[in-house]
Structure 1
């Protein structure tokens, strides 16, 4: 999308949420969201997981997100790493709004179709859904699958071992249709006091 001139990693988040007036959103960029350096917490402050423990993301709406962003201010933590589901969810929502596409459509267009990852999607077809493994609680009780709603960009993708191996191979081999995009995610960016990467991070602890 950057190559298509639809957006830039340096664009401020506030540019894409015109219905919310908050100076903090003009201090953080898409790059901050993609590298978990926006200062945003793991979850939005108004996201109560206890409301629906079996499907905790399904009830969180765009209106809830707008309400959270209208008062959010994590300026003191900008450029410091802090894992943020809500930050990545906002990133996914922005990509959808800018492109006019659903997240599943973007995934297919830019990643899974070029790499022939036919078992990877946000929305599974009926045959794939029949093979989707069940989750289980620590007690062994079967747990229902979650509906991610506006958090699709932060965990809505389903895949298979074979498809994930294709993605790993594409990252290790420059002879693939999206090599230039993957290569960009391998380049370190100095943010704050350390190097960060788009969509992932190094763990040097032993």
Structure 2
């Protein structure tokens, strides 16, 4: 669930206002299959959206018979790791718009039991968490994301946040950017406390269900085993011995979904927070998501969860056995999502190949 440094070649040519049609110069099924075969990857799910139209949405598997290697049926659910963070940021803004919280306010206003080993703990705001400028470390303990202490109970997230008293800040809140998964886990608990719902229930009721994302959940139990793309690592690749699932870490990246559902999420983001008739955020609140707030120190800027580079908006993700990348160009209203069930995959490389095949 660590944010990766990326260099994008995805800079599409200027699109005239009158342009109505987008086409692919290559067969995308074949392009993806050639790529995953050449790089020893088990599968890839790819989505391409233009304005409010889905141009492409398939899962391509490496092994195939009789020329068929596209399937959106079995094993089409992926863990999207940190690509899930913009969902959390959007939920926070929904609550802010309702007046239930203020992103400029300290975390302790909403979580009175929030405690860390720092005299600055009362200075950490919700906005600091959203922009990774809180000073909190990436994880609460070194082995957290090796899933050695798995907790799948309903109280997993709350118990996790209440156990942070020994962690120390790396710097004074607001001083600079430093990626923090634990910050988003705290945000998830704020959502639960303020809404008086469980974190996963709030996300389902206020985002997934209205966006018709019926194949999306923080609960692994929702899916049958044969629906999930198994996590892989190494070359030659092999299925990981441990599965990346712990409800304590749900807000920072344990979200399971399909490329079909992420195409709907892409439409929402390309169209100023609107999907069909669902438009829960006012324009000022929605724009906060992609308004620059800080520099990452690596050539990128960050808004409220989304990273910004050369007019691109993106978030990538890496977890045990999974890699993911979601990227869109606001001006041209086109976006691409790549999901691969292999920890060592380069989603950016495949995304660029697809981007180069797009013609206006």
Is the 1:6–1:98 contact (alpha carbons within 8 Å) kept by the matching residues of 2?
yes
Cross-structure match for 2:150: 58
Is the 1:58–1:147 contact (alpha carbons within 8 Å) kept by the matching residues of 2?
yes
Cross-structure match for 1:186: 290
- Count of aligned positions: 200
State how far apart, in whole Å, the 2-side matches of 1:81 and 1:41 are. 11
Is the 1:35–1:198 contact (alpha carbons within 8 Å) kept by the matching residues of 2?
yes
Change (3 A) 1:195 1:99: same
Change (3 A) 1:70 1:14: farther
Describe how 1:96-115 pairs up with structure 2 within 5 A.
96-115=192-211
State how far apart, in whole Å, the 2-side matches of 1:126 and 1:28 are. 35
SS of aligned partner of 1:17: coil
Structure with larger Rg? 2
Change (3 A) 1:109 1:62: closer
Describe how 1:69-84 pairs up with structure 2 within 5 A.
69=165, 72-76=168-172, 78-84=174-180
Q: Per chain length, whose mean CA-contact separation is higher, i.e. which structure has more relative contact order (CA < 8 Å, sep 6+)?
A: 2
Greater strand share, 1 or 2?
Answer: 2
CA RMSD of aligned residues (A): 3.0
Change (3 A) 1:95 1:147: same
State how far apart, in whole Å, the 1-side matches of 2:287 and 2:223 are. 33
Greater helix share, 1 or 2?
Answer: 1
Q: What is the CA distance between 1:149 and its match in structure 2?
A: 2.5
Is the 1:58–1:146 contact (alpha carbons within 8 Å) kept by the matching residues of 2?
no
State how far apart, in whole Å, the 2-side matches of 1:43 and 1:62 are. 16
State how far apart, in whole Å, the 1-side matches of 2:167 and 2:286 are. 35
Q: Is 1:201 the counterpart of 2:307 in the alignment?
A: yes
SS of aligned partner of 1:97: helix
State how far apart, in whole Å, the 2-side matches of 1:107 and 1:67 are. 24
Q: What is the CA distance between 1:12 and its match in structure 2?
A: 0.4
State how far apart, in whole Å, the 2-side matches of 1:149 and 1:106 are. 15
Cross-structure match for 2:71: none
Q: What is the CA distance between 1:120 and its match in structure 2?
A: 1.1
Is the 2:301–2:309 contact (alpha carbons within 8 Å) kept by the matching residues of 1?
no
Q: Is 1:39 the counterpart of 2:135 in the alignment?
A: yes
- 1:41-68 deviation per Cα after TM superposition (whole angstroms, max 9, x unaligned): 1112xx2418x94x24625875564443
Is the 2:292–2:308 contact (alpha carbons within 8 Å) kept by the matching residues of 1?
no
- 1:62-121 deviation per Cα after TM superposition (whole angstroms, max 9, x unaligned): 556444335523343634111111111111112112222122211112211121111111
